[in-house]
Amino acid sequence: MRYLGRFITLLLTVVAVGCATTGPEIAKPIPLAVKDVAWLRDQPEIVVIHHQTPTPFRVWMGDAGAYFLEGFGAQTVLFAPYFSEKANERLQAKALREGEQIRTKYSIVDPVLAVKARFVDALSTKLELGNLRPISEPVTVNEPYQFAESFGSVVAFDFLTASWDLDRLPSLFSADRYRLRYAVQVRLLRLKASKYHGAPQSPEVARLLRSEDSKILWQGTCHSIGGGVPWVIKENPTLLFGPKQFVGEQSYTLDEWTAHDAALLKGRLQDAANACAEALLAEFSN
């Protein structure tokens, strides 16, 4: 009976987590024209910015079965669609709560800073871009025209952690192993400030003025599971399923992830950051 109950919970978990753990939609990669690399070297300055973490660290506990059954008696999976929205809300809330507890207790830092630093260092040495100016403070906006309001007419790289979490791997006999998932997006932007730059504008007027010449020149997204070999999603940019050759067996219990002041978790996040920085640089320079 114990395994039967766990099997039912596992089955319901898969149904709910299939929706709940999908990462945020990420735009498809935009290639960079070969001529633009030489053009970049001629720019007086390229600012390098990163976003204030838009996606909190999450730990997906995956006990959706309890959520489905709570208050409804012994429901079957046939009724799951009626309760999936409620289960999804509770899964999200618990994932956020558990993730925030681990992040604050062990001082887990968003890997985007490590990606940014390694990418910039490689640009300087491998592509001989000596005009990079990293900005230490994070930005809180996302659109190129909004950056132009802050930095004026300039070329910019921007870095964004799209998703980072510990995801429980469903198992009939063991329900306490988790894998680390990380995704980061990098864009190269050409910003063009409006002639009204610095003047207060209503939202309606701002929308009319925002697209004079600001645009995305290049964009790449990297995913890594367990801090292992990264890959770039081109057709279906989500974190729910990764190519089998990259998933591996990088799963551990929460106790293992957080032992010794979360040394394993911090180390694997650093590995993911380093691997993705190199993968994105390869995409950028090819």
User: What would the pLDDT profile of 106-163 be if each residue is shown by its tens digit?
Assistant: 999 999 999 999 999 999 988 888 999 999 999 888 777 777 777 888 889 999 998 8
**Does the pLDDT value for residue 4 go beyond 70?**
no
**Does the pLDDT value for residue 26 go beyond 80?**
no
Count CB-CB contacts under 10 A for residue 69: 19
Phi-psi region of 128 (alpha: psi -120 to 50; beta: other; left: phi over 0): left
Percent of the chain whose pLDDT exceeds 70: 62
Burial of 270 (0-12, 13-18, 19+ CB in 10 A): middle
Tell me the pLDDT band of 246, cut-offs 50, 70 and 90: very low
Q: Which two tokens stand for residue 259?
A: 């032992």
Average pLDDT on 182-206 reads: 67
Q: Which of 99-108, 183-192, 244-253 comes out lowest in average pLDDT?
A: 244-253
Average pLDDT on 224-246 reads: 53
Asked if residues 179 and 167 have their Cβ atoms less than 8 Å apart, the reply is: yes
Asked if residues 245 and 230 have their Cβ atoms less than 8 Å apart, the reply is: no
**Does the pLDDT value for residue 263 go beyond 90?**
yes
pLDDT at 205: 46
Q: Tell me, what amino acid is at 31?
A: P
pLDDT at 262: 97
pLDDT digits (tens, 9 = 90+) for 63-122: 544 433 333 443 444 445 555 677 778 888 899 999 999 999 999 999 999 999 999 999
Q: Which two tokens stand for residue 206?
A: 């701002």
pLDDT at 152: 80
pLDDT at 227: 64
pLDDT digits (tens, 9 = 90+) for 42-59: 889 999 999 887 789 999
Q: Which of 32-36, 217-221, 230-234 comes out lowest in average pLDDT?
A: 230-234
